[in-house]
């Protein structure tokens, strides 16, 4: 792509150069109408970035408006860098999830690393200290060199940035499927902590106030990144120049400087230079304030020579922030940054006109209405068509996959990469930085204590995209419900969520239908489970070899422990405890892991989910936990009861379980019916527990030897050494990576 921004407006129109930058004929005509003239090259570059799918959400915006975003605990919802939720005692958590899919497909190490850095900046730009990071990742099957490389390098990139910056990576999830072949999904989530009166926003209030640039100098890395992330990426092409490069050591100092600056009343507003860099931060801050900004491009710090206004405005170089400070007090803020060895310089001022004006070498090279850039993006109303496979799946009778040996099938399931231990990945992460991690990766939900209080928060990321593929609306409901089950099983009350909506090409009517219907499911579950959406991200055009990925709306959820005493482990705790199954089990295998290993594909109906039942069971279990009646709790997910039983024995306590069931062994052990938990209860608490949790069925006992024994209709169908099962589970992914 040329960066000769001296191209004349006539040539831009005649050669349709705007199309190279991602704009349509209709959008270009609308821009001319808004300006009442032709735009120059710098201006068309700014429009191409701000009107890109990545920055504007022009396709998904009508659907996003459906989400519930308000609740008594929500202090700040969508619209800023991250959402803010009250946790009492004048404290709040700040959190958001963000994708870095296209960059990670091209440069997996740098793409994943800068994804972590970017979402951390979103959180501390609100004034919050980052206290925890999570991730949600998708890769192709680990049966080929390319997907193994992507997996390994993405993990290495996440570890590099997170470990260097000192924010603990406390949780996450990884799933594998052929639909993500060579097109990984890399979603990063960060949680921060602040006091209510410390909340900051990206504002440019007050004409005459000073615009400060703080952080690393601007280079040519990442130019065009917003447009690059708004279309299908051909991994065979060299798109590496669109991937920015990060430096966690600079970001560590930047965090300290920004958090100190946020405590000064000289600061008016602050925002990360994320997607579209200086363009998005300046235009969005001005648009939100009803003002304008004038900047001198000659003052922008650079690390490369002869950078022009086009490059400076569209670079996505990392570790940069834009601040607006009171006129006459800019030195106070600059001094704070210099104390932390972070350069800060005044590059402009707030103006009364609602205009973004750029000056270079004494000439005005850009003059655009900020509202047109940031707020008046045309909405795409795309056609929706029910996916051809859906009716066929709905018409299928539910069948039970043929299983010769339930013990051998359990072993196979435990070795499936989506189910197997992700210790190979999270052992590379610093999970203990800060010293407040109670439960780290591998638990149903991560648990982080809140310093100076008896409170803690539970955090999880989750989504079973196979269910959403077979039935987008039901699958959307399940994604929210499963995230909430993770929070409840840990002993916390779900508060709110952030979503990362990852889909294929929305101009394909069947893909847009998947997006539309899954959002309907997500909305219904948010309302039923009282978990508003406070922030999020949309990533479209995720295609693998011309085919869309499975629709994957990642859910990041945060819950609150009013007392640390409510924290509940997912593994069995002591021999003699009673084992209970909460919820009913049906023959439901559509989109299941058992269907995957028996059929090699997914079809049929997704497991049914009644949201009223889901909400009732979650509240009952949480009440039992808060009453001190539950020793361990684990939600039933991929692989069903069999996998949950095995995982509940995987600890250094060397415990096992003896279970007796009645019915069809395959259904009982491997169905993925919803709204179910596996819990253990002291014998003396059984009566009290059963009085609270209506559908709890006592199915067995925790044993003092590491053996998992399951009888069905009196027949022994599983008798396996738990430690050997644990070894299979732990070694599955390392073995695949070596093969």
Stated pTM of the model: 0.95
Would you say 115 and 123 are in contact if contact means Cβ atoms under 8 Å apart? Answer: no
Element (H, E) at 525: helix 509-528
Q: What percent helix, strand, coil does the chain show, rounded to 5?
A: 40, 25, 35
Residue 51 is predicted with a pLDDT of 96
Angle, helices 722-738 vs 406-415, to 10°: value is: 50
Residue 509 lies in a domain: no
Residue 3 is predicted with a pLDDT of 46
Which residues have C-beta within 8 Å of that of residue 562, sequence separation ≥ 6? Answer: 88, 455, 493, 626
Would you say 135 and 226 are in contact if contact means Cβ atoms under 8 Å apart? Answer: no
Provide the residue range defining the domain that includes 666: 568-739
φ/ψ of residue 677, rounded to 5: -135, 150
Distance separating alpha carbons of residues 578 and 686, to the nearest angstrom: 8
Distance from the first to the final alpha carbon of the chain: 40
> Catalytic: 381?
no
Residue 4 is predicted with a pLDDT of 55
Residue 696 lies in a domain: yes
Residue 370 lies in a domain: no
Alpha-carbon distance values, 621 to 44, 196, 482, 631 (Å): 56, 31, 14, 12
Would you say 286 and 293 are in contact if contact means Cβ atoms under 8 Å apart? Answer: yes
Residue 727 lies in a domain: yes
Task: With a cut of 50, list the residues of the chain below it in pLDDT.
Answer: 1-3, 228-230
Would you say 289 and 211 are in contact if contact means Cβ atoms under 8 Å apart? Answer: no
Would you say 401 and 594 are in contact if contact means Cβ atoms under 8 Å apart? Answer: yes
Residue 280 lies in a domain: no
Residue closest to 406 by CA, chosen among 104, 710, 148 = 710
Distance separating alpha carbons of residues 612 and 467, to the nearest angstrom: 20
> Catalytic: 54?
yes
Residue 275 is predicted with a pLDDT of 87
SS3 355: strand
Work out whether the CA dihedral 632, 559, 91, 321 comes out positive or negative. Answer: positive
Distance separating alpha carbons of residues 660 and 711, to the nearest angstrom: 5
Would you say 237 and 320 are in contact if contact means Cβ atoms under 8 Å apart? Answer: no
Residue 724 lies in a domain: yes
Catalytic position from the list 100, 181, 406, 566: 100
Q: For position 721, which CATH number holds?
A: 3.90.650.10
User: DSSP characters for 202-216?
Assistant: ----STTPEEEEEES
Residue 231 is predicted with a pLDDT of 53
Would you say 140 and 181 are in contact if contact means Cβ atoms under 8 Å apart? Answer: yes
pLDDT in tens, 655-702: 999 999 999 999 999 999 999 999 999 999 999 999 999 999 999 999
Residue 1 is predicted with a pLDDT of 35
Residue 737 lies in a domain: yes
pLDDT in tens, 419-451: 999 999 999 999 999 999 999 999 999 999 999
SS3 672: coil
Number of domains in the chain: 1
Residue 689 lies in a domain: yes
**Entry field: residues in the chain:** 739
Catalytic position from the list 54, 340, 406, 566: 54
Angle, helices 611-626 vs 472-489, to 10°: value is: 10
């Amino acid at each position: 792509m040329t960066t000769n921004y001296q191209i004349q407006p006539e040539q831009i129109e005649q050669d349709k150069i705007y199309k190279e930058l991602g704009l349509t004929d209709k959008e270009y005509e609308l821009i001319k109408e808004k300006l009442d003239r032709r735009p120059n090259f710098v201006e068309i570059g700014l429009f191409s970035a701000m009107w890109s799918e990545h920055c504007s959400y022009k396709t998904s915006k009508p659907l996003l408006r459906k989400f519930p975003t308000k609740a008594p605990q929500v202090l700040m919802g969508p619209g800023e860098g991250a959402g803010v939720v009250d946790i009492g005692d004048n404290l709040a958590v700040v959190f958001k999830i963000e994708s870095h899919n296209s960059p990670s497909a091209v440069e997996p190490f740098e793409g994943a690393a800068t994804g972590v850095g970017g979402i951390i900046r979103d959180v501390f730009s609100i004034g919050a200290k980052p206290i925890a990071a999570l991730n949600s990742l998708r890769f192709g099957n680990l049966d080929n060199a390319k997907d193994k490389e992507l997996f390994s390098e993405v993990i290495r990139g996440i570890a590099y940035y997170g470990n260097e910056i000192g924010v603990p990576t406390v949780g996450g999830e990884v799933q594998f499927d052929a639909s993500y072949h060579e097109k990984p999904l890399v979603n990063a989530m960060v949680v921060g902590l602040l006091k209510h009166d410390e909340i900051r926003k990206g504002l440019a209030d007050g004409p005459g106030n000073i615009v400060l640039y703080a952080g690393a100098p601007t280079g040519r890395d990442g130019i065009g990144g917003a447009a690059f992330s708004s279309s299908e990426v051909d991994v065979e092409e060299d798109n590496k120049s669109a991937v920015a490069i990060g430096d966690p050591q600079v970001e560590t100092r930047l965090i300290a400087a920004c958090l100190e600056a946020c405590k000064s009343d000289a600061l008016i507003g602050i925002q990360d230079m994320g997607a579209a860099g200086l363009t998005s931060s300046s235009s969005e801050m001005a648009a939100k304030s009803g003002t304008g900004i004038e900047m001198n491009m000659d003052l922008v710090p650079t690390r490369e020579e002869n950078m022009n206004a086009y490059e400076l405005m569209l670079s996505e170089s990392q570790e940069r922030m834009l601040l607006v400070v009171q006129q006459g007090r800019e030195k106070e803020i600059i001094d704070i940054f210099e104390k932390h060895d972070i350069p800060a310089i005044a590059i402009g001022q707030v103006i009364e006109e609602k205009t973004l004006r750029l000056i270079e070498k004494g000439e005005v090279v850009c003059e655009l209405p900020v509202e047109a850039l940031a707020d008046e993006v045309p909405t795409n109303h795309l056609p929706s068509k029910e996916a051809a496979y859906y009716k066929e799946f709905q018409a299928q009778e539910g069948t039970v996959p043929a299983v010769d040996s339930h013990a051998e099938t359990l072993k196979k399931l435990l070795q499936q990469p989506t189910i197997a231990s992700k210790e190979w990945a999270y052992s590379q992460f610093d999970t203990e930085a800060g010293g407040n991690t109670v439960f780290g990766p591998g638990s149903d939900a991560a648990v982080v204590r809140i310093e100076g209080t008896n409170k803690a928060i539970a955090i999880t990321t989750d989504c079973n995209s196979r269910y959403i593929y077979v039935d987008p609306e039901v699958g959307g409901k399940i994604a929210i419900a499963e995230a909430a089950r993770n929070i409840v099983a840990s002993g916390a009350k779900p508060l709110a969520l952030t979503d990362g909506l990852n889909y294929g090409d929305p101009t394909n009517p069947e893909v847009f239908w998947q997006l539309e219907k899954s959002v309907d499911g997500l909305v219904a579950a948010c309302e039923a489970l009282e978990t508003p959406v406070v922030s999020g991200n949309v990533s479209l055009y995720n295609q693998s070899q011309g085919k869309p990925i499975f629709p994957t709306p990642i859910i990041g959820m945060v819950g609150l422990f009013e007392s640390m005493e409510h924290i509940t482990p997912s593994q069995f705790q002591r021999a003699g405890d009673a084992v209970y199954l909460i919820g009913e089990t049906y023959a439901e295998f559509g989109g299941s892991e058992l269907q995957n290993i028996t059929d090699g594909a997914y079809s049929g109906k997704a497991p049914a989910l009644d949201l009223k039942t889901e909400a009732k069971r979650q509240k009952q279990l949480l009440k039992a936990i808060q009453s001190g009646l539950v020793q361990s709790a684990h939600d039933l997910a991929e692989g069903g009861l069999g996998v949950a039983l095995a995982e509940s024995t995987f600890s250094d306590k060397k415990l096992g379980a003896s279970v007796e069931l009645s019915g069809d062994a395959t259904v009982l052990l491997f169905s993925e019916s919803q709204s179910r938990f596996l819990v253990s209860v002291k014998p003396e608490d059984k009566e009290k527990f059963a009085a609270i949790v209506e559908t709890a069925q006592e199915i067995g006992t925790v044993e003092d030897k590491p053996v998992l024994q399951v009888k069905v209709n009196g027949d022994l169908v599983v008798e396996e050494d738990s430690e050997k099962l644990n070894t299979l589970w732990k070694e599955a992914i390392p073995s695949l990576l070596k093969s």
